[in-house]
Structure 1
Amino acid sequence: MAASTDNQPDNPASPWYSAYPAVKGDVKGLSRDAVLELLHTEGAGTAFVLVDVRRADHEGGTIRGSINLPAQSLFPTIPTLYALFKAAGAKKVIWYCGSSKGRGTRAAGWFGDHLDERRDEEMESLILEGGIKGWAKAGDRFVEMMDEYDEAVWEKFE
């Protein structure tokens, strides 16, 4: 998937991610229906980890059980995150941002590249297709699985 350009206000000429390597491998997606099913059957934090990589736009709610690790500071922590997720027995790490077309895809790609370098075929790095915007607009069964949901935030995306 192509990544968008998320420029930072402190240096608009150079995107924040330009300091880090380009993603080498392909990034696979997981539908929101599949993630919802995982939440109902497995529960976040057991067989999978949900990672919300939003920072300044972290508003309107988040998917229940997800952790917030802003993409802008993520890359140097990947080896530590990998060790923690591995020790916890996570088989899937599911990343998302607003749309999962920029930061989410980039984070999933970096983590997937780390998995490839480690030759770890037991863990997957995936993106939530449609991101949190798609999740929040998909109806009640998705919204019910959000913490701190604020409908007013999502109305502006109609």
Structure 2
Amino acid sequence: MSNITLGSLSYISCEELAEQLHASPLAPSFPSNLAIIDVRDSDHVGGHIRGSTWVPSNELDYKTPELVRNLKDKDVVVFHCALSQQRGPSAALRYLREKERLDPGSKSVTKEGEEIKEGGNKEDGGEESQKVMVLRGGFTQWQEKYGPDKTLTEAWQKDIWEFGY
């Protein structure tokens, strides 16, 4: 049984994430150490965060092990849905638990920098901790602030979001 709970999750604000995207030495390209996973379903229509990967929540059961393997070299993995109240946090929790199951010695950082699993860091030959976070307010809050910004949002359609979620 895993000791990772919803209370263990860290959150990142839209402003903090946008700052990371703009501050990247690769800007306007997506930072190579960051992954954003969008777990919205049919509500994915109308735009998405530039460079994000769409994995509908109904596909997470079989795609989570693949995500863990594909994202192992990322320093930060951010999950979100429309509001980041259910699907986003659940996906982050599922990801952390699967990561723990596949590699019991791995480390992940949760809320307030607490490590979930013990392990080494790069100085003592181990792996660096991966931060797994949830986007506070989800895409709804993101698009309110950054929808029209083509450097941060792709395929945004104002008429879909005009009256909110």
TM range (shorter): 0.7 to 0.9
Partner of residue 113, structure 1? 97
Partner of residue 31, structure 1? 13
Structure 2 regions of 5+ residues with no counterpart?
A: 108-128
Partner of residue 40 from structure 1, selected from 19, 22, 25: 22
State the shift of 1:75 in Å: 2.5
Instruction: Describe the shift of the 1:71–1:30 C-alpha distance in structure 2 as closer, same or farther (beyond 3 A).
Output: same
TM-score, structure 1 length as denominator?
A: 0.76
Structure 1 regions of 5+ residues with no counterpart?
A: 1-20
2-side partners of 1:100 and 1:57: how far apart? 13
The number of residue pairs the alignment matches comes to 136
Residues 66-104 of structure 1: CA distance to partner in whole angstroms, max 9, x if unpaired? 010011111222222111111xx2011101110000111
Identity %: 24
Instruction: Describe the shift of the 1:23–1:148 C-alpha distance in structure 2 as closer, same or farther (beyond 3 A).
Output: farther
Partner of residue 131, structure 1? 138
Partner of residue 54 from structure 1, selected from 37, 40, 49: 40
Structure 1 window deviating more from structure 2 (48-57 vs 133-142): it is 133-142
Instruction: Describe the shift of the 1:143–1:100 C-alpha distance in structure 2 as closer, same or farther (beyond 3 A).
Output: farther
State the shift of 1:38 in Å: 1.4
Secondary structure of the 1:74 match is helix
Partner of residue 91, structure 1? 75
TM-score, structure 2 length as denominator?
A: 0.73
2-side partners of 1:80 and 1:45: how far apart? 21
- RMSD, matched Cα: 2.4
Partner of residue 114, structure 2? none
